[in-house]
Chains A and B, each alone.
Chain A
């Protein structure tokens, strides 16, 4: 009962959190961009380009975590394969960047990317056509993962596959894609993936301004995705989604086609993950089949669990915190990271079942109620004295 009361408070805090998240995101982006571009490197406030890129990468992960939270936290669909949509989005962007290299590659072939020349291919595979157009490549980067999510979701949700079986299927999906993309014949660069990018829309990818712009665009899209998700979850559609999570058969008997709702939410979530992937690739400069590996997808779930699922902002916070910890930890003890991650997950599951967001909200609620009783007590004292 007290838990439910807390969850109710969470709803109220959730609405305030929108302003906080968007405001903080805007402030940090502005600060980091200005300090990188305008201050000299000697200044103590200078933010290095390395930090900018790192922040941009974290924000991509935050967007990915947000997409997982939308389906897991709100609809109870534990997807262990969101890395697949992320990587497909990344490959979409990667293909565009490959075509942008043009004749500046090692082999100097204006038409074919280096790895195709290396494989003695003489024509571009059909699915590479049009990828030299930015708009088309971006469309494909979102549409292909979206279509995959639609087909997968349609088959799975219509057959009423739920729970652990669905999780295993998503895991199998990303694993199968990883194996496929490792093959050279697929035409996506095999295990080397796509790399050696030069420029994006004519801007040099190594330039500070491009880096800052990419970071700012990532922050903006994260804010937009957050607002869109908040809008969806606050609408009646969102309430149907939560109803499906808590009592799917009942929702059906009320008259909602729950499979349709789940499919569309899954597609939306996959599109967010794909956008995150497309933003990630130009910032890290490489995309390879390793991004499909099941462990990546599981890591995303850990971020969301640590941050607190079903809150949206918790997923973002979780992704940022865990990735910051990863950066620090792998610098000190590279081999220990996976153990630390596992321990963190166990610890959070045991002691913070609602994640950090749940913990913070509990403290806030306690603070509010104690300040309320405090004031009423002082009122009593005042009354007594008068």
Chain B
């Protein structure tokens, strides 16, 4: 582009200069797709953790990601939440928000919540305080120096405590909870932040059958209002919640469809059962 052309482009009357554009844009899901992952590649020291991965998540959907260890599930979540930079590719949240340009904290504020594989809660603080920290509210410094819980926030937190079954433990330190309870607390923190998109890494690891069932119920009830992406190894669990399953293999998508489709898919059978069959 020549100098003249770029100057004209700059002064066009039908556009807004990027510097003046409102950063706080709502997620645009007019095409019913909330997350676009296209051509994503990430390599660590030559090892391709993600290899030209394409993935589209519809708004309000509950999607399960499965795949063997090293298939790139956690790396994918790391890229979406801004923890890991990618080599090539694009990640869009709705039509307009380029997630690769935002930091972890900004992405969380945009409405993408994440639960880690290993439950990480703030151990030196009580269950109640953990939820309070996760609330959807300003994350600014001045605000938080004077912040107090509003009645509606308290109601929300009480409701969450009820949902995650930790009412009696609300004054207990999070570090004193059992593994399964920490998982629940982390899910509760996700709920408190009221995200548009939830990325959940192995939610039922270390849970009893009963707890697993309740988790499945909770996740299915969330879908619709919110979009949920679950990474899980427990096939029984996946079968009980998933409508659409995406199989990752060596950093790219191997198959996508309903659980039955996927289980009958020849590629999947070959990859997973190939050596045994």
Contact = CB atoms under 8 A, between A and B. Distances in A.
A361 to B, nearest CB: 14
Interface in B64-99: 81, 83
B218 to A, nearest CB: 20
B114 interface: yes
A257 B122 CA distance: 16
A148 interface: no
A253 B129 contact: no
B116 A246 contact: no
A253 B114 contact: yes
B234 to A, nearest CB: 24
B175 interface: yes
Nearest to B120: A250
B109 A255 contact: yes
Nearest to A254: B134
Contact of A239 (B114, B116, B129, B175): B129
A247 B145 CA distance: 20
B105 A8 contact: no
Contacts of B29: none
A249 interface: yes
User: Interface majority SS on A: helix, strand, loop or mixed?
Assistant: helix
A185 B208 CA distance: 72
**Size class of the contact patch on chain B:** 20 to 34
Contacts of B176: 1, 4-5
B133 interface: yes
B139 interface: yes
Interface in B101-158: 103-105, 108-109, 113-114, 116, 120-126, 129, 132-134, 139, 141, 144-147
B104 A264 contact: no
B173 interface: yes
Query: Which of B105, B109, B126 is the most central at the interface, judged by chain A CB atoms within 10 Å of its CB?
Result: B105
B108 A237 contact: no
B189 interface: yes
Contact of B124 (A7, A253, A257): A7
15 contacts: A4-B123, A5-B176, A237-B147, A239-B125, A239-B129, A239-B132, A239-B133, A249-B120, A250-B121, A253-B104, A254-B108, A255-B109, A256-B139, A257-B105, A257-B139
Interface of A: 1, 4-5, 7-8, 232, 235-237, 239-240, 242-243, 245-247, 249-258, 260-261, 264
